[in-house]
A and B are shown apart, each in its own frame.
Chain A
Amino acid sequence: MIGALEAEWIKLRSVRANLILIIIALAIPILLTLLIAALAPFGGATLEREVFGITVITPALVAAYLCGVLGVLGIGQEYRHNTIRVTFAAQPNRSVVLAAKSIVYGTFGLVIGVLSLALSFATASICFAVRDLSFEVVVTPMIGAVLLCVLMTLFGFGLGAVMRQPAGAIPVFLIWPLIIEGIVSLILDSVDESLVRWLPFRSAQELVNFTDASGIPVFSRAVSGLYFAGWTAAVVMIGWWLVERRDA
C-alpha cells in the first residue's frame, strides 16, 4: 500500500494539467476575495458574519468545484491515455490502486481547502484593516468548506471511475450541480419546497452556510454534510465496483 500511495503521489505531481489546476484552485478564490474585500460596498445593514462569509467562505466554493475536477482527472486521465493498463499491470490488485488514489486525492482536496481558506482569510484581513471594516470570524462554515473540498474531490474521483473519460465526466460534474439541480429545484419548489433539500449538491451547500436566516426548510449542517457524504460514498463505490469488474 505504501508503494501504491507513493506511486499515486508521483503521478499527481508529474502531470502538467494537475499542477495548473491546483494553481487555479488556489488563485481564483484569492482573487475573488481580493475583489470583494476591496470593492464591495458593505453597508451598515450587513451583518459582520455575512461580511466574512461572502468574502472568505463563498470564494472557497470555486476551489471545491476545481477539487472535483482534479478528482475526475485523478482516474480519468489514466483511462484517457491508457496508462491505467500500465498501472494495473504493475499493481494487479485494483482495490489497492483505488484506495491509494482516494487517499492521495482526498488528502489533496483537504490541503487545497485549508490553503485556499487561509489565503483568502489573510487577504480579507489585510483589506478589511485598510478599509477599517469589522467582521466576525465564523469557524463552523470554514470547517464545512474544507470538508466540502474533500468530498467534492472524492465525488469527482468516483464519477471519473464510473465514466472513465474526463471529456464526459467533467461536464457532468459541473452541469449536475450548476444546471440540472437548478432546474430540478425549480420544479420541486413548485411542488413542495421541502423536497429541494434532497438534492445532493444543494444539500452540500449547507456545509458552508454562514447565514442564520433560512428561506426554505433544509437539513442541519451536520445532516446535510452526512447526506452529501453518503452520495459521495455511493458514487465512489459504484466506480470502484465498475473498475474491478471491467476490462482495463
Chain B
Amino acid sequence: MTRLRMTAPGRTRRAPDLTPVMDVVFILVVFFLVVSTFSETLVKPMQVTLPASGAPAQSPAGVAELKLTAQGMSLNRQPLESAGLSASLAGLGGRPLVIVAGDGAPYQLLVDALDAAQAAGLADVRVQTEREVSQ
C-alpha cells in the first residue's frame, strides 16, 4: 500500500500587524491622562463651636484664641507671623484652642491654622466666626 504524503504549504512566518494595538493603547493612555488626577487628597475633621444664644463673647480662661484676618493672624491678641505659627501653638502645651475666622481671612489660612494645630498635637481645636460683641 502506498501512502500519499502531502506536504504542508510553505508557511511564511510574518509578524502580526501591531498597528491596531498601538492605536488602542494610545487612546487608553490619552484617556487616563485626561481623566486621572495626580494630586493626593486629604481630609481634616472640623469641629465648630455653635454660637450660644445670649452668651458673652469672651472666651473662658485657659482657652487660647487664634484670630485670622485678611492681614494675618494673632494669637491671644499678639500678632503672629505665619512662619512661627506651629512653634507658638506647640508652646500652648495642649491648652484648648479656638480659631476665630475673622473678616477677609481666606479658607486657605483656616486650613493652615488647623494644620499647624494638628502638627502641634493639640487635641481640642474649635473653630468659630467672630461674634458681634453686644455690650
**A and B associate:** no
Interface set of B (CB-CB < 8 Å, partner A): none
Interface set of A (CB-CB < 8 Å, partner B): none
